[in-house]
Structure 1
């Protein structure tokens, strides 16, 4: 078992308030977030971007493990996770995450690559956590 943490602070109301996000590792240390960075495209972070980064990282690591089990090693993998936040009823929900993977894997053919990428999408711990629709476009160079 592994345990880690992230934390958030908040002061003020929803629109005029300000928050700060920190991680145990120190990768983020009181990094700003708020209504304007979440909904208006202003500088700062937001929970959806952090979930996207976590999902991209988890999926890519899971694929590295799965590739190793198939006796393959990636020369390069880059994953982007587009997280969709939509208004639903009285609130909001993350309704989908689209993973875009670009990878160079010597010895992999397209069919095997797509099979292994799909297995990583379904099996990574962050995918298992989320109830959103998760899709994947995987490109083998």
Structure 2
């Protein structure tokens, strides 16, 4: 499987700093982010909305494949994810990702659908990442 990448650059520090983020695919190219876009209503993106988009798209695709595997081949899935960040002592913690799904799958019963959807939620790679070990390497130059 290929490795995907994203990058971020931040100039200045704290509330006065400005950041830019990019993705390997180029979908995001030097997209602005900073304190204003993260904690206020300023222009630009923020990590939480990017996680929300990743979680919604990953879960929806996982559910699509699970439904196809169960013999369903027609329908529509629409997922909104709401990622919450809360103040935690001196910092912040992402405390939840709430998936809100609207689905149209002809011929499926509620119980079967709920079981397949829960399996997709538990097994989509982004859901697993949100519980994963995170590693860090660094290099400091003066």
Q: Find the aligned partners of 1:74 and 1:34 in 2 and give their Cα distance.
A: 41
Instruction: Name the SS for the 1:116 alignment partner.
Output: helix
Q: How does 1:25-64 map to 2 (within 5 A)?
A: 25-64=25-64
CA contact (8 A) 1:73 1:106 kept: no
RMSD value, Cα = 1.3
1:2: how far off? 2.2
Partner residue, 2:127: 127
* Partner SS state of residue 55, structure 1: helix
The verdict on how the C-alpha distance between 1:74 and 1:101 changes in structure 2, with shifts beyond 3 A counting, is farther
Distance 1:74 1:85, change over 3 A: farther
1:37 is displaced (CA, Å) by: 0.3
Alpha carbons of structure 1 residues 68 and 18: separation in structure 2 relative to 1, 3 Å: same
CA distance in 1, matches of 2:105, 2:73: 6
Tell me if the contact between 1:86 and 1:94 (Cα under 8 Å) persists in the aligned partners: yes
Checking the alignment, whether the CA contact within 8 Å between 1:87 and 1:93 is kept in structure 2 is: yes
Give 1:103's aligned residue: 103
Larger RCO, structures 1/2 (Cα 8 Å, 6+ apart)? 1
Cα distance per residue 1:65-96 (max 9 Å; x no partner): 11011001242111111001011122111111
Relative to its length, the structure with more strand (as a share) is: 1
Q: How many residues align?
A: 132
Unaligned runs of 5+ residues in structure 1 are 132-141
For residues 90 and 73 of structure 2, what CA distance do their matches in structure 1 show? 47
| TM-score, length-scaled by structure 1 | 0.89
Runs of 4+ in 1 over 4 A off after TM superposition: none
Question: Greater CA radius of gyration, 1 or 2?
Answer: 2
